[in-house]
Amino acid sequence: MSGDKRVTFRLWRGDATGGNLVDYETEVSEGMVVLDAVHNIQAEAANDLAVRWNCKAGKCGSCSAEVNGMPRLMCMTRLNELPLDAPITLQPMKAFPIQRDLVTDVAWNYGVKKRIRPFKPRPPDAEDGSWRMVQADIDRVQEFRKCIECFLCQDVCHVLREHGKHSEFIGPRFLVYTAALEMHPLDTEDRRAELKDEFGVGYCNITKCCTNGCPEEIKITDNAIIPLKERVVDAFYDPLAGLRALLFGGRHG
């Protein structure tokens, strides 16, 4: 991209009752990101354009939207990555109810998190109340804790987006969250029964859309969801345990 040029942005405007795409033209210059253009439009032509954002540095995960149909953080999407000769379409995330313009109601996510049993550490290892953990044992958990809760993984997950299984499936974000708790070296809680029955880990069919869209590059499917599925299988579908139960009686999940 060289020099300033005028570019058309096709923004979805409306609320829960409906809306439509509206074209705005604004000048773009070197290094600009999509959110800059939205701010320009807001200042120049649409003072009341609703957009959620905070840090503008890819750290808070507020400005999630669909840029030309792709789930993106608007603050981290540079305009020179996009074809500027055609209008750039900006739409709100589809997996959540619309509030207004580019803003969706993500409250469901906060409710889901509350349902997951919190961290419960083993007693401290030292008298000052601290623990000892080896770095290698926490690398994986730290990967999961990079999550900025932008909810783009929830947005692209078919189970939520196409099938609307919000009441039966907690979505990739909260499987990552649960994985971070389950794999935390100090945690003593067991969340496998909920994973199977309430959190719907079985719904994930490993298409990796979440992983591909994650701005923090967390390997959601491979490192979080598949190991959780394995833990659930080990706990409830172990064939040897099943055989034992058949022969000697007892639990078979």
Partner 1 sequence: MTDHETHSYDVLVIGAGGAGLRAAIEASAQGASVGLVCKSLLGKAHTVMAEGGVAAALANVDERDNWQVHFADTMRGGQYVNDWRMAELHAREAPDRVRELEAWGAVFDRTDDGRILQRNFGGHKYPRLAHVGDRTGLELIRTLQDHGIHQGIEVHMECTITRLLTDSSGVSGAFGYERERGRFRVFRAKAIVIATGGFGRAFSVTSNSWEYTGDGAYLALEAGADLMDMEYVQFHPTGMVWPPSVRGILVTEGVRGEGGVLRNSEGRRFMFDDIPELYRAQTADNEEEGWRYTQGDRDARRPPELLTRDHVARCIRREVREGRGSPHGGVFLDIAWIKDRVPGGAEHIKRKLPSMYHQFKQLAGLDITEQPMEVGPTTHYAMGGIRVDADTQSSTVPGLYAAGEAAAGLHGANRLGGNSLSDLLVFGKRAGEHAARFAADQGEPLVEEAQVEAAVAEALEPFARHQTDGSGREGPYQIQFDLQETMQDLVGIVREQAQLEEAIERIRALKERAAVVGASGNREYNPGWHTALDLRGLLAVSAAVARAALLRRESRGAQFREDYPDKDPVLGQTRLLVRRAPDGELEIERTTVPEVPDDLRQVIEENR
| Residue 145 within binding range of partner 1, rule CB under 8 A | yes
| Residue 47 within binding range of partner 1, rule CB under 8 A | yes
| Residue 30 within binding range of partner 1, rule CB under 8 A | yes
Q: Could you tell me where the DSSP H helices lie in 53-134?
A: 107-115
| Residue 31 within binding range of partner 1, rule CB under 8 A | yes
Token pair 């003593």 is found at: 188
Who's near 219: CB < 8 A, 6+ residues apart?
143, 211
| Residue 219 within binding range of partner 1, rule CB under 8 A | no
Shortest spacing between CB 246 and partner 1, in angstroms: 40
Q: What is the footprint of partner 1 within residues 166-205 (CB under 8 A)?
A: 181, 184, 187
| Residue 99 within binding range of partner 1, rule CB under 8 A | yes
Could you write out the DSSP letters of every residue in 209-242?
A: HHHHH-TT---IIIIIIHHHHHHHHHHH--HHHH
Q: What's the token pair of residue 215? A: 């701005």
Q: What is the footprint of partner 1 within residues 104-143 (CB under 8 A)?
A: 105-107, 110, 113-114, 118-119, 121, 124, 128-135, 138, 141-142
- Distances from the Cα of 59 to the Cα of 42, 146, 150, 179, angstroms: 22, 9, 9, 21
Query: Using DSSP, how many helices (H) and how many strands (E) does the chain show?
Result: 10, 7
By CB under 8 A, name the binding residues for partner 1: 15, 29-33, 36, 42-43, 47-62, 76, 78, 99-101, 103, 105-107, 110, 113-114, 118-119, 121, 124, 128-135, 138, 141-142, 145-146, 148-149, 181, 184, 187
